[in-house]
């Protein structure tokens, strides 16, 4: 899909890696002036140089850092019209009784507070100017129970925040939507797989399409939601998951005509 962000400044958090980087690449291709924000300076600078984007070092959990970053970006490049909040962290899966305060706080700080601070810092200015589009990054983990007992609730809160902001700012010209990616082979997921709780083949088999989602596919959805092509769309959570969320009911059957009838239960004795 052809999209055009000519003359618009887009800020992408988590832009040094994975989905943030892919979204930034897509926005650059669609003529946006892209600023990449990330806490890790060397990969941030490398990504920015490769994508012809502007780097800014920012820890998204640092509220004061957000204010400084937005001031600087707007002074140097002009008003931010697109915000993509892709910075996020997975936690190693663990049973609920072994949740640590530290893991809970970190997972919520980056995924939820990082999104909230960004939306407040940038969205407030967008609302004052009457123009802007925000795309947050949720997860299918928000919509289904799984072993990520901190990350799932944190992403569910990101989803709820996205919808609350869409309602609050809609009449002030700001749209706020979320993508809910499925499993995408990014450096972040690689680390998740290295925890060893699930493997790639099982993740692929859990989707209607029988494969993982690519970072570029998520980036396309982000760019669409951020663009004028989605001018009447706000407050949605768009799964980009190769059909993972719908596959639960179908997975056991394998599709029409392909199902192997289950073996009959053993006869009961004494009847």
Residues near ligand NAD, by CB under 6 A = 13-14, 16-20, 38-40, 58-61, 86-89, 110, 114, 137, 139, 181, 183-184, 186-189
Q: Which is nearer to ligand NAD, 73 or 86 (CB)?
A: 86
CA distance 183 to 98: 25
Cβ closer to ligand NAD: 9 or 16?
A: 16
**Shortest Å distance, C-beta 172 to ligand NAD:** 26
Alpha carbon 194 to chain centroid, angstroms: 20
Catalytic residue among 66, 108, 117, 151: 151
What is the SS3 assignment for 85? strand
Shortest distance in whole angstroms from residue 167 CB to ligand NAD? 22
- The tokens for 106 are 């970190």
Return the number of the residue (20 or 132) whose C-beta is nearest ligand NAD.
20
CB of 93 to ligand NAD, least distance (A): 14
206's CB contacts (< 8 A; 6+ apart) are 183, 244, 247, 251
Whether 183 is catalytic:
no
For ligand NAD, which is the closer residue by CB, 127 or 224?
224
Q: Which residues of 92-120 are buried (b: 16+ CB within 10 A; e: fewer)?
A: bbbeeeeeeeebeebbbbbbbbbbbbbbe
| Residues with active-site annotation | 151
């Amino acid at each position: 899909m052809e999209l055009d962000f000519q003359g618009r400044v887009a800020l992408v958090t988590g832009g040094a890696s994975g989905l943030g980087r892919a979204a930034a690449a897509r926005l650059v291709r669609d003529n946006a002036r892209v600023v990449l924000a990330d806490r890790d300076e060397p990969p941030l600078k490398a990504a920015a140089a490769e994508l012809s984007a502007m780097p800014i070092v920012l820890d998204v959990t640092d509220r004061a850092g957000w204010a400084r970053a937005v001031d600087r970006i707007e002074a140097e490049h002009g008003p931010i019209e697109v915000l993509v909040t892709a910075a996020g962290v997975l936690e190693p899966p663990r049973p609920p009784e072994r949740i640590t305060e530290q893991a809970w706080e970190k997972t919520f700080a980056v995924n939820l507070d990082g999104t909230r601070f960004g939306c407040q810092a940038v969205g407030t200015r967008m609302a004052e100017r009457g123009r802007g589009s925000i795309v947050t990054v949720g997860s299918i983990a928000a919509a289904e129970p799984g072993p990520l007992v901190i990350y799932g609730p944190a992403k569910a809160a990101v989803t709820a925040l996205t919808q609350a902001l869409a309602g609050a700012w809609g009449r002030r010209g700001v749209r706020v939507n979320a993508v809910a990616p499925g499993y995408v082979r990014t450096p972040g997921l690689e680390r998740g797989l290295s925890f060893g709780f699930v493997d790639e083949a099982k993740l692929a088999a859990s989707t209607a399409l029988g494969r993982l989602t690519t970072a570029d596919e998520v980036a396309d959805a982000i760019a669409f939601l951020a663009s004028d092509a989605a001018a009447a769309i706000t407050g949605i959570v768009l799964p980009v998951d190769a059909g993972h969320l719908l596959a639960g009911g179908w997975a056991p059957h394998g599709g029409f005509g392909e199902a192997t009838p289950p073996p009959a239960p053993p006869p009961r004795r004494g009847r």
